[in-house]
Structure 1
């Protein structure tokens, strides 16, 4: 083969390779999974606190299914009561999956991050039982709740406890503990939760942001731009009401997404840019909603969540 033919052949082959690569990239981009008939880049989850006054865990599951959610996030006391009344969590998990839903997280590991080693060891039996229940129903994550860390908590010690919880969860129950932050607890802000997660020095360390506590803890939302979405297990979603002073806001004041004053569309744009691909979980504690038809509450929450996602253009 002469030089001209060789160069021509090589150029054509290279062009074909580049063209193929580009078409593959475009094809992969089109493959991004969408949920809710293409309206959302994230599965939408119903935190059962939103419909807390339903009679049973099974009724809450039925409401999540009927309302059209992709997932459900239960609480530990609900699972405990379900078993106490003779229910089989593994069978309930199968029912959830047969309906096309999944369980991304359970709330939660109360008292799992205490002030000292003696208290940590004493907390493990209850912690392991909660992990076992969460694993039985098919959870991916379980929330590690810092309600007992103490006002002057030691970040190094809390991080060591969290790392050990990760090891126990993964090795014994195939479940990932994820750290939450709550204004009413000593570990209040997303920044504080990130510090513990990073100092745990574990590849599966994760946190669970909640837009309401990001706001009322005064930690703010700008940190989302600085974090990789792989750090987030799920993302809890709601809105803060208008007409109430920040210092007076309690969990009971949460309102439907879009009905309040938080910059939710901008928050979701930053969340999408972070690469987060987990669940958006609707978490409301509003007693006024609990007095209403709970299926309609669930449907309204889903609709309003999707409206904000549409507004964000993600």
Structure 2
């Protein structure tokens, strides 16, 4: 199992350059690159510099995070989604990053589950047709909030199965899995090859539907049954990667090096109970 760093964990004070240097120092295998941090980096750097960094170092790019709110958009908004995807595909071709996370929309009004499925399937088909020539995969991330149009593992997995394309899969995020009470039985039945990205995190012990991003805590420090999730992943044969992703404002105020070091240590500690970890 490889360990990745998601840039949301240091979102407030850090940069792509700083995250890369410190993740390399602490032995991460992979990084998920945020779209906003990538654009910020490219103001003063060329993409060839990023490519050269990955060529010279252990750490590699794994995914771009994220195309946000891809469904139920007006024409202007949807065109921006397509342009962002094209931009990420072009960068990904240069630095060899071949996965893009896609997030469904929030606060869409009174659409039925069937209508949400139809719209999400339609959009994923269209976006993957754009991404396919670049060899890029799309990973649908359900979000465990009542106002997200796709908010459970089962709902997202059903959409991915309906799309039925090799380059469309799912993001499994432990926080989101817990937050809207997704069922472990659904994960037990899943095809591990359709889990494109695995986010490891934890959270405070709040009721179903009440959790939000700022309630996240380090893996192993909260209420999520990580042991059950990791045991299930091992059981179905998933062992590709785990990316630590937190949006906790308290951690954003920490020294960046302390945050990246702590994230690695906490993630290693819990993953090592179930998986053999990649070593530098």
State the TM-score, normalized to the length of structure 1: 0.79
Name 2:179's counterpart in structure 1. Answer: 216
Name 1:203's counterpart in structure 2. Answer: 166
Residues 144 and 178 in structure 2, CA contact (< 8 A), matched pair in contact too: no
Query: Which is further off, 279-288 or 162-171?
Result: 162-171
Residues 149 and 187 in structure 1, CA contact (< 8 A), matched pair in contact too: no
Name which structure has the greater RCO, CA cutoff 8 Å, separation 6+: 2
SS of the residue aligned with 1:74? strand
Aligned length: 270
- For residues 134 and 313 of structure 1, the distance between their equivalents in structure 2, rounded to whole angstroms, comes to 29
Name 1:58's counterpart in structure 2. Answer: 17
- For residues 69 and 54 of structure 1, the distance between their equivalents in structure 2, rounded to whole angstroms, comes to 20
SS of the residue aligned with 2:58? coil
- For residues 292 and 177 of structure 1, the distance between their equivalents in structure 2, rounded to whole angstroms, comes to 32
Shift of 1:59: 0.7
- For residues 270 and 74 of structure 2, the distance between their equivalents in structure 1, rounded to whole angstroms, comes to 43
1:226 to 186, 189, 198: 189
Larger Rg: 1
1:279 paired to 2:251: no
Residues 68 and 299 in structure 1, CA contact (< 8 A), matched pair in contact too: no
- For residues 235 and 226 of structure 2, the distance between their equivalents in structure 1, rounded to whole angstroms, comes to 14
Name 2:104's counterpart in structure 1. Answer: 146
Name 1:178's counterpart in structure 2. Answer: 139
5+ residue gaps in structure 1? 1-41
Residues 112 and 148 in structure 1, CA contact (< 8 A), matched pair in contact too: no
- For residues 239 and 130 of structure 2, the distance between their equivalents in structure 1, rounded to whole angstroms, comes to 25
Name 1:79's counterpart in structure 2. Answer: 38
Q: Deviations over 1:249-271 (max 9, x none)?
A: 21111111111122212211111
State the TM-score, normalized to the length of structure 2: 0.88
Matches within 5 A, 1:67-106: 67-83=26-42, 85-106=43-64
Q: Deviations over 1:182-228 (max 9, x none)?
A: 12421111111111111112122200110100111222333211111
- For residues 106 and 190 of structure 2, the distance between their equivalents in structure 1, rounded to whole angstroms, comes to 26
- For residues 98 and 226 of structure 2, the distance between their equivalents in structure 1, rounded to whole angstroms, comes to 26
1:290 paired to 2:252: yes
Name 1:192's counterpart in structure 2. Answer: 155
Structure with greater strand share of residues: 2
Cα RMSD after superposing both structures:
2.2
Residues 71 and 119 in structure 2, CA contact (< 8 A), matched pair in contact too: no
C-alpha distance 121-298 of structure 1, shift in aligned 2 (>3 A): closer
Residues 68 and 102 in structure 2, CA contact (< 8 A), matched pair in contact too: yes
- For residues 167 and 62 of structure 1, the distance between their equivalents in structure 2, rounded to whole angstroms, comes to 35
Residues 179 and 193 in structure 1, CA contact (< 8 A), matched pair in contact too: yes
C-alpha distance 247-275 of structure 1, shift in aligned 2 (>3 A): same
